[in-house]
Amino acid sequence: MGDFPILTATLLCPALALLVTLLIPGRNGMAIKAANALCALLSVIFAAMIWVAYDRTVGGYQMLEVVPWVPTFGIDYRVAVDGVSVVLTMLTALVFFTGVLTMWTLETRVKEYFAFMAALVFGVFGVFFSLDIFAFFFFYEVAVLPMYPLIAVWGSTRKTYSAMKLTLYLMLGSALLFPGLIALFVYSGGQTWNLVEIAQSGAFSRETQIFLYPFLYVGFGILAGMFPFHGWSPTGHVAAPTAVSMLHAGVLMKLGAFGIFRIGMTVLPEGAEFWAPTFAVLATIGIVYGAFVAMRQTDFKYVIGFSSVSHMGIVLLGLNVWAMSRSDTAGLDGAVFQMFAHGIMTALFFSAVGFIYDQTHDRDIRHFGGLTSQVPVASSMFIVAALCGMGVPGFASFWAELLVFIAAIETFPVLGIAAIAGLIFTAAYVLRVLGKAMYGPRNPDWENLKDVTLWSVLPRAILVGVLLLFGFYPNLILDMIRSAGGGS
């Protein structure tokens, strides 16, 4: 690949999408969509190239590019990837692409919508690539901020309330992060924001680490749907339009978990270890609690929203297990695998629900029945996502959960068993939705629903294919993640 700055090129895909979107007149919606789809496709191609180009035998950070940004404060544009970010870059590109295709039927304010979405993706890529803590935080805020207008303008169900709630929660997270990150800069000598140098500076005593770590964990954790600060997430999912829900649950929540891993656990390993039991308990509570709340929800999207809380709990549990005993990488492998699997799965979930909602403007589970016979293909997409959510083998999340549970049982036996027992309740809430809406007597109101067309099935089929691919042959992704295991 030579010196081609592939990471910058990937980062520029959504930036280009944003620019083109702003240049095309708003009335020309089709052109905007096509331009976005092309840019998104390009980012998928670049992500695949990164995947191939990354040398797994060497591991560590690769494809480094450095450009000074604000030299006075030691801020650089410093991007590189390790196995974890390669995987998450692929996830983002896939969800971006399928998200654009899913919103093909959008009619209102097309231009603004796609502009915000491209900005969001731009930020996400930036976070996954940045090795400079300041740039990391900058991109992080770029990714988070478009959520407010995206929900408040294009959303449904109490959209202003949800948008405000989400923003306030995330601002709370940022309020914790900002001093935490500045403290990292100051304690390490105030010369550089370079993550690797700060991590190796040895400037943080055990006490300092223990003091600083919760700022970072909770600050990022809020975005990862960490119990008990998860309240924004289901509400936000419900209110957001389909593609935003996809990006939001599929990618954005991963930023939080990624931040914990990339900055918190890398720079403050002793702090992470000290707090791991506490946060592992919270994560396990999140797993079980999310499942129980999902069991009684009546809105499709609320069920998925709380399932996200539950599934992200598995990610956080895996990360904390790894922080506790780093010699065993199974926890980290599982956590990152779960980020990927959950991202694809939730995107599919929201995409499938969005398809039904677009036609019915109804999301109440009780108002549906026998959808399998009314829209067989569309409901089979939902069923696939549901099976993946239950951790059925053959789908990607099975392996992810397996790894996390194995690691958890070794490190925190009680939590591990509780988390595994949570599978029963997961099955209960997933089957409840399937039984009520997908199966059962059909509701005559929806006899005339149209099933997916070849074009609208494409994004969903891609997601299903990815889930099955990694579900059948997990080593494809596991090798990639594992090469990062020693990244810290």
Partner 1 sequence: MSTESLALALLIAPLVGSFLALVFFRRKHVIASGIVVASGLVSVIASAMLLFGAGHDVGAITARWFSIGDTPIEFGILLDGRTMIMGAVVALITLCIEVYSLSYMKHDEGRGRFFAFLALFAWSMLSFVYSSSLLQAFIFWELVGLASFFLIGFWYEKPSAVAAAKKAFIMTRIGDVGLFIGLILLFMTTGTLDIPAINTLFAGDGLPEGIAPGRIELIAALLFIGVIGKSAQFPLHTWLPDAMEGPTPVSALLHSATMVAAGVFLVTRFHGLFMNAQQTMEWMLWIAVGTAILSSTMAMVAKDMKRVLAFSSISQLGFMLMGLAAGSLFAGYFHLITHAFFKALLFLCAGAFIHHVGSNDLIAMGRAGAAKQMKLTTVALVIGGSALAGIPFLAGFFSKEQIIGSLPIGAKIGALFAAFLTAYYTFRMIFLIVRPNADSMAVEDEPAHAQHEDGHEHHGPAEPLAMLAPIILLAVGAAGAGYIGNWIGHKLHIEHIEHPSITEMAPAIVIAILGVVFAWLEFGRKGARQTGFVSKIPSMQTLFERRWYLDEIYNVVFVRPVVWFASLCIGAENKGFDNGADAVAHGTYKGGRMVARSHSGRLQFYIGSAIVVVAALALTLGFRNGGGAG
Contact residues for partner 1 (CB under 8 A)? 164-165, 168-169, 228, 230-232, 235, 289, 292-293, 295-297, 328-330, 333, 370, 372-373, 376, 387, 392-394, 398-399, 402-403, 405-407, 409-410, 416-417, 420-421, 423-425, 427-428, 431-432, 435, 438-442, 473-475, 478, 482
Q: How far is the CB of 473 from partner 1 (least distance, A)?
A: 8
Complex with partner 1: residue 109 or 436, whichever CB lies closer: 436
Give the nearest distance from C-beta 276 to partner 1 in angstroms. 18
The least distance separating partner 1 from the CB of residue 361, rounded to whole angstroms, comes to 24
Q: In this complex, which beta carbon is closest to partner 1, that of residue 31 or of residue 406? A: 406
- CA 34 to chain CA centroid, Å, is 25
CB nearer partner 1, residue 144 or residue 199 = 144
Nearer to partner 1, 14 or 416 (CB): 416
Instruction: Give Cα 297 to chain centroid, integer Å.
Output: 22
Q: Identify residue 289 by its one-letter amino acid code.
A: Y
Indicate the residue among 19 and 449 with the shorter CB distance to partner 1. Answer: 449
Nearest to 151, CA basis, from 87, 68, 238: 238
Nearer to partner 1, 38 or 423 (CB): 423
110 CB neighbour count, 10 Å cutoff: 21
Minimum distance of partner 1 from residue 235's CB (angstroms): 8
- Nearest approach, Cβ of residue 338 and partner 1 (Å): 15
**Closest CB 438 distance from partner 1, rounded Å:** 8
Nearer to partner 1, 31 or 461 (CB): 461
Per-residue HEC secondary structure of the chain comes to CCCCCHHHHHHHHHHHHHHHHHHCCCCCHHHHHHHHHHHHHHHHHHHHHHHHHCCCCCCCCEEEEEEEEEHHHCEEEEEEECHHHHHHHHHHHHHHHHHHHHHHHCCCCHHHHHHHHHHHHHHHHHHHHECEHHHHHHHHHHHHCCHHHHHHHHCCCCHHHHHHHHHHHHHHHHHHHHHHHHHHHHHCCCCCCEHHHHHHCCCCCHHHHHHHHHHHHHHHHHHCCCCCCCCHHHHHHHHCCHHHHHHHHHHHHHHHHHHHHHHHHHHCHHHHHHHHHHHHHHHHHHHHHHHHHHHCCCEHHHHHHHHHHHHHHHHHHHHHHHHHCCCCCHHHHHHHHHHHHHHHHHHHHHHHHHHHHHHHCCCEHHHCCCHHHHCHHHHHHHHHHHHHHCCCCCCHHHHHHHHHHHHHHHHCHHHHHHHHHHHHHHHHHHHHHHHHHHCCCCCHHHCCCCCCCHHHHHHHHHHHHHHHHHHHCCHHHHHHHHCCCCCC
Supply the minimum distance, in Å, between the C-beta of residue 271 and partner 1. 24
**Min CB(74)–partner 1 separation in Å:** 35
* CB-based burial, 417-429: b 16+ in 10 Å, e otherwise: ebbbebeebbbeb
Residues forming beta bridges with residue 67, ordered by sequence position: 77
Beta carbon nearer to partner 1, 215 or 429: 429
CB of 415 to partner 1, least distance (A): 13
CA-to-CA separations, 304 to 34, 128, 388, in angstroms, rounded: 29, 25, 12
Closest separation in Å from C-beta 233 to partner 1: 11
Measured from the CB atom, the residue of 109 and 432 that comes closer to partner 1 is 432
> Between residues 121 and 403, which has the closer beta carbon with respect to partner 1?
403
Q: Which is nearer to partner 1, 2 or 228 (CB)?
A: 228
Which residue lies nearer to partner 1 by CB, 245 or 426? Answer: 426
CB of 398 to partner 1, least distance (A): 7
At closest approach, how far in Å is the CB of 293 from partner 1? 5
